[in-house]
Amino acid sequence: MATFTSRNPEETIALGEQWGREARAGWVFALTGDLGAGKTHLVKGIARGLGIVERVQSPTFALVHEYGSGRLPLFHLDLYRLDTPAQITGAGLEEFLEPRHGIAVVEWGERWFGSCAGKFHRQPGDAAEPRFRWVVIESLSETERRFTYEDLGV
C-alpha cells in the first residue's frame, strides 16, 4: 500500500494527472471517501493526464460520463445513488469492469467492488486481467487529504 498526502485541490489534481499519464487500457480505479473528500478532483487530474479536453464533472445523476478526446477513453462512474451490487448490475454498468479500450474510474467504489475486488487478483503471466487500483481518500482538514492506494491484478 502506498500513501500520498495532498495539501490542496491542485495537489490532488496533480496526483491524478500522474496516474492518468501512467494508465493503460483496461485499468480500473475504484475510489472511496466521504462527500467532499476529493474524488472528482482526482478524476479531473486523471483526465488531464490522459489528455482529455472535455470538462470533467461528477456523473451523480447520469451514473456514467464518457470522455473520448484523450489518448484513451475515460469512463467516469458515480455510484452514490446505488446501494447494492444488484442495483449496479441492473443499471447495466458491468461492462465498465473491463474497459478494454479505455480506463474506468468509479466513485463510491466500495458499493460495487467491496464484494468482488478479489476478481482482480490475477495469475502470473495472465495479461488479460485489468489493473485495479483501490483508493481510499480521507479528509484530514479543510484542504488536506490522505490517499491510501493499492494495486491489485499487477
Supply the CATH number for residue 79's domain: 3.40.50.300
pLDDT of residue 126 exceeding 60, the answer is: no
Q: How does the average pLDDT of the chain come out, rounded?
A: 88
DSSP character for 73?
Answer: -
Number of domains in the chain: 1
Spatial distance between the Cα atoms of 140 and 123, rounded to a whole number of angstroms: 37
125 belongs to a structural domain: no
Identify which of 104, 100, 103, 150 has the alpha carbon closest to the alpha carbon of residue 129. 100
pTM of full prediction above 0.75: yes
98 belongs to a structural domain: yes
pLDDT of residue 91 exceeding 60, the answer is: yes
124 belongs to a structural domain: no
96 belongs to a structural domain: yes
1 belongs to a structural domain: no
106 belongs to a structural domain: yes
121 belongs to a structural domain: no
Cell of residue 10, nine digits: 491542485
pLDDT for 127: 52
| pLDDT tens figures, 28-48 | 999 999 999 999 999 999 999
- Domain carrying residue 36: 6-115+132-152
pLDDT band at 96 (very low <50, low <70, confident <90, very high): confident
Lowest-confidence pick of 56-60, 66-70, 96-100: 96-100
123 belongs to a structural domain: no
